[in-house]
Chains A and B, each alone.
Chain A
Amino acid sequence: MSFAPGDAVLVCDRPHPGHHRTPRYLKGRRGTVERVHEQFLDPETRAYGADGEPPRRLYLVAFEMPELFSGYEGRPDDRLLVDVFEHWLEDAP
């Protein structure tokens, strides 16, 4: 599965014991792919001495602030942009 700018995505809502780079406050949240970054060695295995293979694609994903935080004080178009690895993203229904 790979994504393109503009794709609607969901951040996987799964527990992950151990090091990972997906902030908990985003799990299960809906966003839109803003940029497609390069691939990087997988931090989840590198953190424990492995080589990080296979590399994982990283995406910059945009989330609408008012959707993320109830009672958000700001403009409706305010967004949060977060780097999320591909294996933490799925197609949004």
Chain B
Amino acid sequence: MTHGHNHDHDHDPVTTAGEPVTAARVRALEELLVERGIVTRDELRERIDWLVSRSPADGARLVARAWIDDDFRQRLLTDAREAALELGLDPGPSPVVVALENTETVHHMVVCTLCSCYPRALLGPPPDWYKSLPYRSRAVSDPRSVLREFGLALADDTDLRVVDSTADMRYLVVPRRPVGTDSLDEDALAALVTRDSMIGVAEPLEPSG
């Protein structure tokens, strides 16, 4: 008896109650990697903690700065990783982040049809729908109706660019600055920049008042 009370029943292990098949597989892999000394449990924990500590607030800071500083905007579009470092943000282990700018005539949206590639360092963990099969397939074959489902009706004269991030590059959309925001400072602008607007399935929030 190792846990302080007497009984004659079995306990389920902490991690397996109702565990989905994929989670069980991941856990089995994790056990093996640890057992063979390829990674330690603490290394895994550090990596997971880093992943969940990221948030779209970092991406929003990049966008807000680009809206108020045209030179920075150019640097962001040229090399988003350098631009993130310039603001003291952590662009993550992924070698290259590319920022794609929406304009009056071109709208970008991002998908990963193969898995769930996503600029996690600047946006945090991807939403579940981003990893879902319907989004991953329909975002390329029928993107305008997907955008309508997200509440975004593109203007008739706006061309759409769907970016399928299949490899080492990570894509971040720089949405258009909402009208009526001339008097807002950088922090107030950043608060309008949502995660979804940086994936390209929404516009930024409208300023209140």
Q: Is the CB of B161 within 8 A of A21?
A: no
Can you name the residue of chain A whose Cβ is closest to the Cβ of B169? A83
Chain A residues closer than 8 Å to B160, beta-carbon distance? 65, 74-75, 78-79
Q: Do A37 and B96 contact each other (CB < 8 Å), given the known contacts A21-B114, A23-B113, A43-B167?
A: yes
Closest A residue by C-beta to B107: A78
Give the distance to chain A from B101, nearest Cβ to Cβ, in Å. Answer: 13
Other-chain residue from B113, B143, B168 in contact with A40 (beta carbon distance below 8 A): B168
| Interchain CA distance A69-B144 in the complex, whole Å | 13
Closest to A23 in B: B113
A47 interface hit (Cβ, 8 Å): no
Q: Say if the beta carbon of B104 comes within 8 Å of chain A.
A: no
* Minimal beta-carbon separation of B164 from chain A (angstroms): 4
* B161 A85 Cβ-Cβ under 8 A: no
Cβ-neighbour of A75 out of B95, B113, B159 (below 8 A): B159
- Select A81's contact among B95, B144, B162, B168, beta carbons within 8 Å: B162
Q: Name the distance in Å between A84's Cβ and chain B's nearest Cβ.
A: 7
| Bound CA span A23–B165, Å | 10
- When chains A and B are docked, how far (Å) is the Cα of A75 from the Cα of B160? 8
**Interfacial chain A residues near B159, Cβ < 8 Å:** 75, 77-79
A residues 54-80 near B (Cβ < 8 Å) are 58, 60, 65, 68-69, 72-75, 77-80
Among B112-162, those with CB < 8 Å from A are 113-114, 140-145, 158-162
Q: Given A23-B114, A79-B159 in contact, is the A85-B167 Cβ separation under 8 Å?
A: yes
Chain B residues within 8 Å of A81, by CB: 161-164
Q: How many residues of A contact B (CB 8 A)?
A: 26
CB contacts (< 8 Å) of B96 on chain A: these are 37-38
Determine the distance from Cα of A50 to Cα of B45 in the docked complex, in whole angstroms.
Answer: 25
Complex Cα gap A65–B142 (Å):
9
CB contact between B169 and one of A25, A37, A73, A74 (< 8 Å): that residue: A37
Given known contacts A23-B164, A78-B160, A80-B164, is B141 in contact with A69 (CB within 8 Å)? yes
Does chain B have a CB within 8 A of A8? no
Chain B interface residues (CB < 8 Å from chain A): 95-96, 113-114, 140-145, 158-169
A25-B113, A68-B141 known, 7 other contacts, Cβ within 8 Å: A21-B166, A73-B142, A73-B144, A77-B159, A80-B162, A82-B166, A83-B164
Enumerate 19 A-B pairs (CB-CB under 8 Å) in ascending A order.
A23-B164, A38-B95, A58-B167, A58-B169, A68-B141, A69-B141, A72-B141, A78-B159, A78-B160, A78-B162, A79-B161, A79-B162, A81-B162, A81-B163, A82-B163, A82-B164, A83-B164, A83-B169, A84-B167
